[in-house]
Amino acid sequence: MSTSKRSPVALVTGGSRGLGKSMALHLADRGVDVIITYRGAAAEAADVVKQIEAKGRTAAAIALDLGSTRGFDAFAAAVKAELAGRFGRDRFDYLVNNAGMGGQASFAETTEEQFDALMNVHFKGTFFLTQKLLPLIADGGRILNVSSGLTRFSFPGYAAYAAMKGGVEVLTRYLAKELGPRKIAVNTLAPGAIETDFGGGVVRDNAELNKMIAGQTALGRVGLPDDVGGAVAVLLSPEGQWINGQRIEASGGMNL
């Protein structure tokens, strides 16, 4: 199948809520068709699909447990089937590795089980899912890996989480180099503190913490999902095609 003169297709992991949902909707606003993944929130994912379709775009939702590589073959087969059946093509253009999980514990109290859970989702999952999907990504496409502002500044309780995201940032540069011959650009987007339900919604719901973070941010407030969703849409726009191998932080200027 030819992919020329068609709307681009993005695959956004963790697209049923929070930042991933905002990313998917912002991409749809810019004429991109979207596949989202979800782990357990099937109803929420179906609602996001409806919202994307209401914007005149094609959309699909596929279940994915990013923490278990055993399911990646079946997931890739499901993506291939959706591309052929719903989108009328055999490749997609943009992979956004967004899905993640929260985890807070001091370095001294972090258990091996907590460490492994974070590693399996944020680093191992991102590494091997991207590898599995490479044959389905169009030449000239893009990969955007979501990291965290916590790789630049330190906040007690996030040593393991931030370390995994640091690994993702190094991986981004290697992918940009190795996928260059296919003209696939690879970048990192690192959000700062955002008001979502991530990590139990602590940034959104704890007024004292929210005020403290706002005071450390040059623009004077905590980020909102649309701040990050809009940044993703900009980075994946045609105008962003020459940005490659970079870490872009979307934090409003935290801890400058």
Q: Which residue numbers are catalytic?
A: 161
β-bridge partners, 59:
34
φ/ψ region of 114 (left if φ > 0, alpha if ψ in -120 to 50, else beta) reads alpha
Distance CA 155, CA 162 (A): 9
Distance CA 102, CA 234 (A): 26
Residue pair 152/158 in contact by the 8 Å Cβ criterion: no
Residue pair 36/19 in contact by the 8 Å Cβ criterion: no
At 177, which helix (H) or strand (E)?
A: helix 159-178
Kindly report each contact of residues 176-182 with a partner whose C-beta sits within 8 Å and lies 24 or more positions away, as own/partner: 176/244, 176/245, 177/245, 179/134, 179/143, 180/244, 182/139, 182/140
Distance CA 227, CA 242 (A): 22
